[in-house]
Structure 1
Amino acid sequence: MIKNFLSNKAIWLMIAIIIGLGGCSQKDEIAESNDQLQVVSTSTIIANLTEEIAGENINHVSILPAGNDPHIYEPVPQDSIELEKADLILYNGYNLEPNIIKLINSSGIKAEKLAVGEQVKPLDFDYEGQKRPDPHVWGDAKNGIIMVESIRDKLIELDPENEAIFQENSAQLITELKELDLWIKNQISTIPVEQRKLITSHDAFQYYSQAYGLEIPGTLIGISTEEQPSAQTVKNLVEIIKNTGVKAIFAETTINPTLINTVAEEAGVTLAEGKLYSDSIGVKGSEADSYIKMLTVNTNTIVSALTQE
């Protein structure tokens, strides 16, 4: 009986050792994972570029879900937790994501911070008599290259062991963006000159239009989607559309299309079948679930609508 007890005891001791070793292995894996750079991105565009550059060599969290509007996003408690854990926070800046920027600048956030969009020299807009920088810098693929380079350099600074990977991935991405830039120019050139006019829900396409040869006669609302257009604003935009003779105007994926649809009806023009991606890439698996796809889809939508007979 004693012999059986000792035998059982030995068996249980062996099981305990195996479990303990397994636990140690799991802890080691967690520790190894936690050794990776902890990076938090705000906008979905910056998040996509960061993932393209770094792959699985960082622990990366994107605060804004795809399809969300950064202008009006309200942070949730989990966002504070992620920001507090971060080694590096990548945000657009130029007040694109005002509520998140306030949170980033709070005293509890100790991470390195990079305003990726602010690496681009901005176009200005007038707001109540003052010049403000336009935050929608990614509309120009050449600015996308600047954003890639700034993210790459910051990742290398904080994680030099992975420099070769960051350099290789960013070089490939930059090549693709240069090709995209030329492709967009060629596509826009197929639109009749008199129809190269872009009217959208909000003023998010100045960089795109300046880079690729479009004019923006007017928009329903200004730079930020926080604005609420008045009846007079709607009326004025209808008159602009009638006077310019454009064939189509455009809704956006992050903005309720009701008002821009009303404008189209009153102006007697087509509301383009496809919506433009302005402040966010599309959800995973959609036609515009990356920065490059977003600019590609937008260009195809614009060309198709403005070249219609």
Structure 2
Amino acid sequence: MKVIPQTEVRTFRQTKAQKLKAIVTFTFCLFLLSCTQANPNRNTPKADGKPLVVATSTIIADLAQDVGKDEIKLTGILKPGTDPHVYEPRPEDSRFLEEANLILYNGYNLEPGLIKIMKATGGKARQVAVGEVVKPLQLDKGKGEIVPDPHVWGNAENAGAMVNAIRDALIELSPEDKEKFTQNATQLSKELQQLDSWIKQEIATIPPEKRKLVTTHDAFQYYGRGYGIAIAGTLIGISTEEQPSAQTVQRLVESVKKIGVPAIFAETTINPALITTVAQEAGVKLAPRQLYSDSIGAAGSEGDSYIKMMEANTRTIVEALGGKYTPFQPQK
């Protein structure tokens, strides 16, 4: 049997140890890399140089895209036509929230399912309740329970305040893009001011006795108070989680008969069956076009942005209630 000199044994052991050390080090590096990819630093921009911004509602996503444009990578969780009140989060939603550098959400409990998992993810992203920059209307849910109305975007002036909040959050996230964010927000705010004035003019064409709005759920208080049209009745309250009883439906039928409105309105995010029944039993017309309430429309629709949604709603209301509609033509 060949005898191996001790110097060769030591060299072999050292070489083996060095190889083992190299393997362990390489494996550990791979582990760290995989952890980094799965759970990146929330405050560090992505490899493409753009911070990852996550928005919950379609309305906030639309406004954020107009302010951030090409300087951000935006992910909107809710899709057009989705009801945020009853949305049940999916597993990938948690991943989006965990990986975000900034989370923009409405607040005032508009999107309770998403708010719950957002607070539970433990991510380091700044969370900004964009809608809560607006002082809310306080509504009675019944049995003495007073809650803030989350549908703050119903008034275009409030949307301007939301745009400013988005701008400030993006500037804090990416200070080097401050000038671009500011310019984009200024242009959008200018158009929102024009939209606000236009809506007031449009509603004013409706005969005063017909300026009454009956809808499926109580999502138009800010619109009504901002533009001089009374919310005369709703089938359910501010949350679509509510299930109206037969007695509730009948009470609304009787109310519609008394107030004498020429039409009532369905909404894009809610099944129109019950409000259709109300219209039939009350003997009034159901407006041929539905209102956008909690979501913008699908791409290519007449309401596929916040501004177009507000224009479409105003047209629907004005035409159904006897006013004279004139298209919105913003001045650049």
TM-score normalised by length of structure 1 = 0.89
Query: Corresponding residue for 1:283?
Result: 298
| Aligned twin of 2:246 | 231
Unaligned runs of at least 5 residues, structure 1? 1-29
Match status 1:220 vs 2:257:
no
Partner of 1:124: 138
Amino acid at match of 2:96: E
What is the CA RMSD across the aligned residues, in angstroms?
1.3
Gaps of 5+ in 2: 1-44, 325-332
- Deviating beyond 3 angstroms after TM superposition, the runs of 4 or more aligned structure 1 residues are none
Residue aligning to 2:224: 209
| 1:88-143 deviations in Å (ceiling 9; x for gaps) | 10000000000000011004322100000001000010123122100000000000
Between 1:133-142 and 1:101-110, the stretch displaced more is 101-110
Does 2:88 align with 1:74? yes
1:175 aligned residue: 190
Distance 1:308 1:235 in 2: 28
Find the partner of 1:98 among 86, 92, 112: 112
Q: From 232, 245, 249, give the equivalent of 2:264.
A: 249
Residues 31 and 195 of structure 1: CA distance in aligned 2, closer, same or farther (over 3 Å): closer
Are 2:289 and 1:274 aligned? yes
- C-alpha distance in 2 between matches for 1:52 and 1:107: 27
Q: Percent identity?
A: 60
Alignment of 1:15-94 (within 5 A): 32-33=47-48, 35-94=49-108
Aligned counterparts of 1:214 and 1:111: Cα–Cα separation in 2 = 40
Tell me the distance in 2 between the aligned counterparts of 1:233 and 1:56: 48
TM-fit CA distance, 1:32: 3.8
Q: What SS does the corresponding residue of 1:282 show, helix, strand or coil?
A: coil
Q: Distance in 2 between matches of 1:215 and 1:230?
A: 24
Relative to structure 1, is the Cα distance of residues 205 and 62 closer, same or farther in structure 2, using a 3 angstrom cutoff? same
Partner of 1:22: none
Mapped to 1, the partners of 2:303 and 2:183 lie a distance apart of 24
The number of residue pairs the alignment matches comes to 279
Shift of 1:56: 1.5
Equivalent residue letter for 2:64: T
Larger-Rg structure:
2
Q: CA deviation at 1:191?
A: 0.2
Aligned to 2:149: 134
| Amino acid corresponding to residue 277 of structure 1 in structure 2 | Y
- On the 8 A contact 2:98/2:121 being kept in 1, the answer is no
Q: Which amino acid aligns with 1:257?
A: P
Bigger mean CA offset, 54-63 vs 267-276: 54-63
Counterpart-to-counterpart distance in 1, 2:124 and 2:210: 50
Q: Deviations over 1:35-86 (max 9, x none)?
A: 3211100000000000000111111100001110000001101100110000
